[in-house]
Amino acid sequence: MRRLPARSLLAPDAIAGGSARTDDDAYRWLEAVDSEAALAWVETRNLETLARFKDADFQTLESGLREIFDADDRIPFAVKRGGYAYNFWQDAEHPRGLWRRTPWAEYADARPAWEVLIDVDALNAEEGENWVWHGARCLEPADPDAPWERALVALSRGGADADVTREFDLLTGTFVAGGFERPEAKGGVGWIARDRVYVYSDFGDGTLTDSGYPRIVKRWQRGEPLAAAETVFEAAPSDLMAVAFHDDTRGFARDFIHHALGFYEQRLIELTADGQHLTLDLPLSAEVDVHREWLLVLLRERWNGLSRTEGVSDGSDEADYPAGALLAIDYADFKAGERDFRVLFTPTAHRSLEGFEWTRHFLVLDVLEDVKHRFERLQPRAHGEWPRQALSALPETGDVGLEAIDPDQSDEVFVTVTDYLTPTTLSQWDLAGDASPQPLKQAPQFFDADGMQVEQRFAISADGTRIPYFLVLPAGRDETDVSRETRPTLLYGYGGFEISLTPHYAASAGRSWLARGGAYVVANIRGGGEYGPRWHRAALRENRHKAFEDFAAVAEALVATGVTRVDQLGIQGGSNGGLLVGNMITRYPNHFAAAVCEVPLLDMQRYHQLLAGASWMAEYGDPDSDDWEHFLKDYSPYHNLRDNAVYPAVLFTTSTRDDRVHPGHARKMMAKMEAMGCDVHYYENTEGGHGGAADNAQRARLGALAWRFLWDRLGGA
């Protein structure tokens, strides 16, 4: 399902200058990512952490995780391109992975015959590199019966966001000599036609935004040097980024610029055939999608349906359309000045729109109702209401996903169904014909879930808001028995950027934690997207403390209801979730006994000057303004450590090659807490980017380290 725009944004690979207010930062030197002194410090802490936790139990956990990640009977999820199913696959023999394909007719077979297109490990050996797969964009031929011939392949050194792009020949299985090739940078290349592409990248001094994203879009013709490519759009340095894409839907071919002014403000601009820039007159905060003859608008704020400049309401009752509503209109009519939108979805206190998916004849809405998926199939019509039907054949619990297989040609979708205790099932469903999904593949079961339980509960936050959370209990635990024993419990959260945490098969947690008697909890705190824009806005900027209060409320509920004790409770979070964990450490140190803080933001006075940080000021605030004194300093964990406080045990993990969230956050917090005599441990993977790991071996090591640390500190042994 789609939420627009895609927010897996890019970041520069160098630290920026500092603020005068941080000159007294004793650990600022750790921000120099590759300095000899900083790397020596990292190596020492890594060795100390492994020496402490790398024992027989660690090795058992690590080997168990490798079995999960490398299992050859995992589902090979695929995308259809022409007559083939394409898949990227990693296992023990191919740690960096294989990009491969099989004839579409054979994909449903238990063991399809895969044709390897790119062996990344072999490529690394040949070129002396450490490439990590970043994906491929295949060019659809103009003739629907012709074979697909070309792809644009992205490869990253060590897993960083920065990558290179190379043109690949799908017929010969080789890179195209003299083809389109983009040097290493943040950005990308997208097809227009066989001999033309859009490129947005680092073109030299002054061509990136202050956030480090591409701000210049060029149209590049085959055979000409990149420097000679025609500039078609240029964003301001203070904007977030600009990218271009070509919609090759037959009969509706169009070109667009996605111009992001900030993280939650963007314009969609059509590049017309005569070279004009047609900016769609819509609220800057709205998420916009053009598909065939339709324009969809997903509102993040209330809107009265007027122009962009006068249409964003201040929240008064004059607004016609509420935040979280999905609107539709004929695209040609809209460009002609029509504003009679159809309302396809209106949120309620319990329902929000999580995403949508187009097929050839239908629009499918993915609605979250108290963090449970509900799907509706709508049939677009030029006039009148769009007939809708609830897709009752789908489960009402767990996580369900729908993805169109070929939205230009058919109404077939892939359906994935899973929950915390149930391995994923992949099915195929023709929404125009089949009564129910037809199973294709079943993921293996990695732990014995017999007797385990999943419950959804609600905690009451400090301001009275009900906060949902999922509780996964190990086997043999009777929640009706008042004499029951408590158990080690891990509480996970994120709470930011309108990202929802829905149930998924907990293979790693199941084998490494639940099977050993621990409980696992996921909190749906404010800042996320579980109840749409209102849930996100409730914890923005000066209201960030609401997310921390929500998480604390869930922790308190787990203790109050006898699930666990404070000395058995651990927490975990990464990236924005690392900021959450950092604030739980400094604000609520008596609520839990151990914390795993992964690729975190922790220095909120300098975050905007480190890598991609400037792009997140709409989420957190501007440290160079009054925001610092008014609220930011109150939730900057690095600045709120107190010498006389007793903190829980903490494991910090990050990656040297994370060029999105700077590893200096974790390094400095670790160094400061270590100097205070706290029970802290640290591990920095040398590869992996913001994901923390580049291959399954690295993922298994990081996972084993976290589970070993938690089990040790929470009394599981």
* Full DSSP string of 314-371: -SSTT-SB-TT-EEEEEHHHHHTT----EEEE---SSEEEEEEEE-SS-EEEEEEESS
pLDDT for 385-438, tens place per residue? 999 999 999 998 899 999 999 999 999 999 999 999 999 999 999 999 989 999
Task: Round the average pLDDT of the chain to a whole number and report it.
Answer: 93
Given a cut of 90, is residue 121 above it in pLDDT? yes
| Residue 662 token pair | 């700077």
Please say if 461 is a catalytic residue. no
* pLDDT at residue 477, as a whole number: 61
- Token look-up 């999922």 returns 470
Scan for tokens 């120099």, then name that residue: 32
What pLDDT is attached to residue 279?
97
Distance from C-alpha of 408 to C-alpha of 395, rounded to nearest angstrom: 27
**Mean pLDDT for the stretch of residues 25-31:** 97
**Residue 577, C-beta contacts closer than 8 angstroms, at least 6 positions apart:** 492, 493, 494, 495, 496, 598, 600
pLDDT at position 99 over 70? yes
pLDDT-based confidence at 480, cuts 50/70/90?
low
- Angstrom distance (rounded) from CA 106 to CA 85: 9
d(CA 132, CA 95): 10
pLDDT of residue 634: 98
pLDDT tens digits for range 529-579: 999 999 999 999 999 999 999 999 999 999 999 999 999 999 999 999 999
Show the tokens assigned to 68.
């999960």
Q: Which 3 state secondary structure label does DSSP give 21? A: helix
List beta partners, residue 365. 356, 376
Q: Is the pLDDT of residue 519 over 60?
A: yes
Q: What gap in Å lies between CA 597 and CA 575, rounded to an integer?
A: 8
Nearest to 680 by CA among 691, 669, 688: 669
Nearest residue to 499 via CA among 409, 371, 385: 371
Q: Which of 575, 615, 636, 655 is catalytic?
A: 575
pTM higher than 0.75 = yes
SS3 string of 434-502?
CCCCEEEEECCCCCCCCCCEEEEEEEECCCCCEEEEEEEECCCCCCCCCCCCCCCEEEECCCCCCCCCC
Active site residue 690: yes
Beta bridge partners of 422: 419
Residue entry with tokens 């139990």: 57
Q: How confident is the model at residue 481 (pLDDT cuts 50, 70, 90)?
A: low
Catalytic residue among 291, 373, 665, 690: 690
Q: Above 50 in pLDDT, residue 265?
A: yes
Q: Which residues of 225-260 are buried (b: 16+ CB within 10 A; e: fewer)?
A: eeeebeebbebeeebbbbbbbbebeeeeeebbbbbb
Has residue 14 got a pLDDT over 60? Answer: no
Q: pLDDT, tens digit, for every residue of 307-343?
A: 544 444 444 445 589 999 999 999 999 999 999 999 9
Per-position DSSP letters for 268-329, written without gaps between them: EEEE-TTS-EEE--S-TT-EEEEETTEEEEE-SS-B-SS-HHHHB--SSTT-SB-TT-EEEE
Amino acid at 47: L
Given pLDDT bands bounded at 50, 70 and 90, which one contains residue 13? Answer: very low
- Could you give the angle at the alpha carbon of 701 between the alpha carbons of 699 and 704, nearest 5°? 105
Cα dihedral sign, 533-538-540-541: positive
Which of helix, strand or coil describes residue 94? coil
Pairing between strand 342-345 and 351-358? unpaired
Sign of CA dihedral 142, 143, 144, 150: negative
Q: Which residues of 298-312 are buried (b: 16+ CB within 10 A; e: fewer)?
A: bbbbbbeeeebeebb
For 49-88, the pLDDT digits (tens) are 999 999 999 999 999 999 999 999 999 999 999 999 999 9
The amino acid at 268? L
